[in-house]
Structure 1
Amino acid sequence: MTANFPVLRLRGLHKTYQLGTHRVPALRGVNLDVLPGEMLALTGPSGSGKSTLLNLAGLIDQADAGDIDFHGQSVQGLSEAALTLLRRESIGFIFQSFNLVPVMTVADNVDFPLFLAGVPLAERQARVAQALDGVGLAEFAHHRPDALSGGQRQRVAVARALVKRPRLVIADEPTASLDSHTAEQVLDLMRERCHAEGAAFLIATHDHRVVRRCDRVITLLDGQIADRAEESLVA
């Protein structure tokens, strides 16, 4: 597949939630392509559908209607076991709250996705060392997360997301709990790793610092991509 072939292609996605007696439409016919090596910012007010779109793109939830193609393969009709395997092998996740396991060392946290994927021990150790070196935390491999700063913990989360060499990284407000200097460092790292690894990043954010660093920005309003919402930000 060519470099311009979408990692993720969403077509006509609809998703509605039942809240008591009310049906709440979260997405209404969303179309979106995300390309390899691209950082795409997903913006919009609370309740616009960003989290729903991330959950569908990350194969955590299923749409009511529409189609999701992941690296050229439709995921419609795949079993839960097949979807879990696809997530484990090909999708990384970065969260605002880091979601590190506090009783594990930094190295063990980064290793965990490889362990779940059944990667042999020797290869896991080499890839974890490479990932931690890539985010500048090799010397902290045997520390616990609570011994690190917020920025360092987010770097661990970036390393964990990228260690399995995913085609797609889903990031939900990754800088919301970081100060400006640390946020800029993490964004530099994400952009560097995005281009070096060729992974696509889909980032839900309210943070203008993130938006400025992304290649494109998409705005969701009431479950739809707003007219003229897509804009190229980086030449």
Structure 2
Amino acid sequence: MHTPVLQLAGVHKTFRLGQHIVPALRGVDLSLARGEMLALTGPSGSGKSTLLHIAGLIEQADAGQVLLQSRPVQALSEHEATRLRRDTIGFVFQGFNLVPVMTVFDNVDYPLFIAGVPVAERRRRVGAMLEAVGLAAHARHRPDALSGGQRQRVAIARALVKQPALVLADEPTANLDSHTASQVLDLMREQGHAQGAAFLLATHDARLQQRCDRVLHLRDGCIENTPAVLEAAA
């Protein structure tokens, strides 16, 4: 058995709003394997974003245990958490979060630049990743010259170019038409399997849910019992 990429055990998180304490997560357990694509569903306010933030080392759990590649993260210093996040986790955002004044190449290159990867290695990896996502011909374009689907592919390339163990995506197919959404999902699965990355996707999109290995449903900060594996769409 391979060690899970991500493990959450009994995770709790609350927020204070004025005089009120609002529970965001209440005893969440989750295990995510290498190469697995897991969809996290639930209504707005159910705790999906909070769970992604905790998995991504952006926020800390109030209680429970979080392990990333078997490493407990609660006791990490801010510097250690930042370095682990930089080296281990890729993020795909609903709004793409591309730098508008940078070219496609430079947007994908940026995480490698921050990580101190040598120039020649950066060029090789960025070129290969843009080829893999079908955007090599657009390397010198800026994001505003691309379609929504192309920009999402740039975001996926940026997340995967540093070869992360874990990719976190928040509504990655929102505002994409069915054909483009299908292409984006195929790309994530293909590249995820090629690199052995695990994907945790927060989504309301039924198209995405049907293509994932598992679906977990959050409600009021708790994971409800759902079928572990989705049947393929008829």
Contact 1:36 1:200 in 2 (8 A): yes
Alignment match of 1:231 (pick from 225, 228, 233): 228
Q: How does 1:30-49 map to 2 (within 5 A)?
A: 30-49=28-47
Alignment match of 1:76 (pick from 67, 74, 81): 74
Q: How does 1:57-68 map to 2 (within 5 A)?
A: 57-68=55-66
Matched residue, 1:91:
89
> Per the alignment, in what secondary structure is the counterpart of residue 35 of structure 2?
coil
Cα distance in structure 2, aligned partners of 1:87 and 1:230: 31
Structure 2 residue ranges without an equivalent (≥5): none
Q: Return the offset for 1:43.
A: 0.3
How many positions carry a matched residue from both structures? 232
Contact 1:43 1:50 in 2 (8 A): yes
Q: Return the offset for 1:171.
A: 0.2
Matched residue, 1:9:
7
Cα distance in structure 2, aligned partners of 1:108 and 1:205: 28
Cα distance in structure 2, aligned partners of 1:65 and 1:143: 46
Cα distance in structure 2, aligned partners of 1:92 and 1:6: 17
Cα distance in structure 1, aligned partners of 2:125 and 2:227: 36
What amino acid is aligned across from residue 164 of structure 1 in structure 2?
A: K
Cα distance in structure 2, aligned partners of 1:89 and 1:127: 15
Q: Return the offset for 1:198.
A: 0.6
What amino acid is aligned across from residue 50 of structure 1 in structure 2?
A: K
Matched residue, 2:211:
213
Matched residue, 1:199:
197
Alignment match of 1:160 (pick from 155, 158, 161): 158
Q: Return the offset for 1:99.
A: 0.3
Cα distance in structure 2, aligned partners of 1:125 and 1:178: 29
Q: Return the offset for 1:143.
A: 0.4
Q: Return the offset for 1:231.
A: 2.0
Q: Return the offset for 1:229.
A: 2.0
Matched residue, 2:146:
148
Contact 1:215 1:234 in 2 (8 A): no
Question: What is the RMSD of the two structures over their aligned residues, measured on CA atoms?
Answer: 1.0
Q: How does 1:97-136 map to 2 (within 5 A)?
A: 97-136=95-134
Q: Return the offset for 1:233.
A: 2.1
Of all paired residues, the percent bearing the same amino acid is 68
> Per the alignment, in what secondary structure is the counterpart of residue 131 of structure 1?
helix
> Per the alignment, in what secondary structure is the counterpart of residue 15 of structure 1?
strand
Cα distance in structure 2, aligned partners of 1:101 and 1:7: 29
What amino acid is aligned across from residue 20 of structure 1 in structure 2?
A: G
Cα distance in structure 2, aligned partners of 1:61 and 1:225: 19
Cα distance in structure 2, aligned partners of 1:215 and 1:229: 13
